[in-house]
Chains A and B, each alone.
Chain A
Amino acid sequence: MSFLTVFYALLFYAATALMVVGLAVKIRQYARTPAPFKIPTTPGPITRGGVVARLFREVVLFESLFKGSKWSWLFGWLFHFGMLVVLVRHLRYFTEPIWFVALLAQDIGVYLGMAMLAGLIGLLGRRLLVDRLRYISAPSDYLMLLLLIAIAGTGLLMKYITHTDIVAVKAFFLGLMRADWQPLPADAMLLVHLTLVVVLMAVFPFSKLLHAPGIFFSPTRNQIDNPRERRHVAPWASKLDATRAPSK
């Protein structure tokens, strides 16, 4: 077993563990912290089904962002939707037999890699050109975009120019999953792609990528607008109820 294979195998195990545990800790924190007041941004849904629909529109269509900024919406949506289909396409490296959804994504997937890259470049352009966005950006905000651009760029280069041994890549990743390690092709573009992916996985729970789980816990978006109909009290606040005058 080559050093390279062992090194990347360990790297992927470590990055996966970090991402999963890190996200679990964050999600647990969000889930356990009470929201003591009803603060949905109104007008908001007045039923649970309505909340599910609202979140669905936010996650799938970026509804609020569409109201807020058409350009960010366009680029952001291209990027995310592109990335989603690319990732679904990537499932072919991790499933045998290949999942049927991953197969479905094969044909359009190619264009969506380009769409993803175009969206990212658009977002970077806005961040550099609009004075308000420059003002609010920290180095990490640029680096995150550059990281994703580099991942998409190396992926597309592999796809169209340098090519790699996809069968071997798949064997390596299936091997990782089955604890039966297989050699990883020593192919520069692939190694850069994979290294960057490891970085992305590792920073996920420590960065603004927490917007992905965060959106589901946002009280302004996930609460039902029914404060008059149902009493809503957080455990820490219910202790203060004792100061209330009894009603009978």
Chain B
Amino acid sequence: MAKAEFDTPQLKGIPVIPHLQPGAMAHSRPFVAKAEHQEPLGFPGELVDDWKTKAIDKMGELLTKYRALPVFLDACVKCGACTDKCHYYLGTADPKNMPVARQDLLRKVYRRYFTFAGKHFPKLVGAVELSEEVIEDWYRYYHQCSECRRCSVYCPYGIDTAEITMAGREILAHIGIGQKYSNEIIGKVHKIGNNLGLPRPALEDTLEGLEEEVEEDLGVKIRYPVDEKGADVLLVTPSADFFAEPHVDGLIGYGKVFHQAGISWTLSSYASEAANFGIFIGNYENMQKVAMRIRQAALDLGVKRIVVGECGHAWRVAYSFWNTLIGPFDFLDPKYPVPQHVCEFTYDLLQKGALKLDKAANDDKVVTFHDSCNVSRGSRMGDFPGGQFVIPREIIKASCNHYVDMAAETIHENTFCCGGGGGLLTDDLTELRVKGAVPRMEALKRVIDEDGVTHMAAICAICKSQFTKVLPFFGMGMDMIISVHQLVGDALVLGAEH
């Protein structure tokens, strides 16, 4: 694999808006999906002959299916408020990574084919014909957007570049140019049930191993059950939780919470994945098909509740889209929200006094919290706006004595994406991922220097993997990043009176 050489940006200690460097990231493009990754998803295996017509037709179809598209494409006044908000622009200085410029890649074609001004006065409004060059730009720059929605917070019309990126990727996939990483993964979920392609026996082995390990450590038998009919709760969690560090410590933590609360639960080998990469490629059918496994598993196992593990976009899909895609959930216990985030679940127990936490267990740590983009700007927790910021922090603060927030302009709805979201968590995009992490790294470095922060907790599998990979580029330890439920698990006093 020919990897582009690049220099890791120096952290400056203060946020800087770079001057434009046109073409700075023009070389960055992920591997294209092969026929075997495209076809199982219902996309053509290679570039179709009449790709131009097909692309325009698809754009026309999407314009009638998603109101966001015509409104966003028409409404932008080029006020520039979003131009310095994208972590990929801040990290790369490539002007096409400014959200509005990214939208313009699609908008200029939209104008040419779908608007009066663009048809008759293309030069005046910057409209262009669809060409190979444009397609190439779409492929490059729609894979330099993590669909994090930060730009939509500051846009006076709420224009969400993520929606444009999804449309761009959807059109590309339909003319035969899909992205290998996302499509291969979606294919695995359709076939096996999780992103890793981990079949049932392997999953059972892994969980058994985990049970033994935990028992050795604690001397208490904590169960990590799979496919147990009649359990109260179906836990759907990102498959990285089964193996990867630091994810698995989160899974251990969930198990301890269930154990201590005395609530029966199970994983499903059929729906062993919370992640839903269908959202990344902007394809309704694939997103629905992936989600459908969870409905099926919940019905088959006869559970009363569904709880979702720590994962950012997965929670957005679950919270915001599941009811639409696979609802109604009239077969579940109406006393609980469907779905329920594992943080909501733990927070509820804490509120009821059902868990006893010994904060001193985490006294070796000074913890900060990275708000994951999709949780922050695409979902909620609890029954009040902003619960997604309060609840995880309350859980962390209940689990440790030393907690510090990063700078206000980098947390809550202003949070920066980790740099690896939206289907970009792949080695063929390492340079982009490192550079896109810069704004978060700047903010983290400040709290390390000023407050002695030692750990950053997160509630997203992608964030955890991305930070594990990029922290060392900036001279920070990869084990700084931890799961929120690791903190909970370590502080939880097992066997204590409820």
State the A residues within 8 Å of B (CB): 26, 29-30, 33-39, 41-46, 50, 58, 62, 64-65, 67-69, 72, 76, 126-127, 130-133, 135-141, 143, 203, 206-208, 210-211, 214-215, 217-221, 225, 227-228, 230-234, 236-237, 240, 243-245, 247-248
Contact = CB atoms under 8 A, between A and B. Distances in A.
B95 interface: yes
Contacts of A244: 292, 295, 326
B126 A138 contact: yes
A43 B149 CA distance: 12
Contacts of B284: 36, 237, 240
Contacts of A43: 380, 385-386, 388-389, 413
B47 interface: no
Contact of B72 (A50, A68, A76, A218): A218
A130 B68 CA distance: 28
A3 B17 CA distance: 57
A64 B155 contact: yes
Nearest to B156: A65
A41 B152 contact: yes
A33 B123 contact: no
13 contacts: A33-B67, A33-B70, A35-B68, A68-B81, A127-B80, A132-B80, A136-B101, A138-B78, A206-B115, A208-B75, A227-B324, A245-B296, A247-B299
B320 A39 contact: yes
Nearest to A67: B154
B145 interface: no
Nearest to A203: B117
B95 A46 contact: no
B295 A36 contact: no
A235 B151 CA distance: 29
Given A36-B324, A43-B386, A208-B75, A219 B68 contact: yes
B83 A132 contact: yes
Given A30-B70, A39-B163, 17 more contacts: A29-B70, A39-B160, A42-B388, A67-B153, A69-B79, A72-B80, A139-B124, A211-B74, A211-B75, A211-B76, A211-B157, A217-B67, A218-B72, A220-B68, A220-B159, A227-B321, A230-B323
B384 interface: yes
Contacts of A35: 66-68
A210 B75 contact: yes
Contacts of B197: none
A34 to B, nearest CB: 6
Contacts of A140: 117, 124-126
A212 B193 CA distance: 46
A211 B74 CA distance: 7
Contact of A243 (B74, B124, B292, B323): B292
A61 to B, nearest CB: 10
Interface string B384-397: 11101100000000
B379 interface: yes
Interface string B319-331: 1110110111111
A214 B153 contact: no
B445 interface: no
A248 B292 CA distance: 16
Interface in B446-471: none
Interface in B157-192: 157-160, 163
Given A58-B156, A227-B320, A228-B319, A46 B384 contact: yes
A212 to B, nearest CB: 9
Contact of A42 (B76, B98, B377): B377
Given A65-B154, A131-B20, A225 B98 contact: no
Interface string B72-92: 101111111111110000000
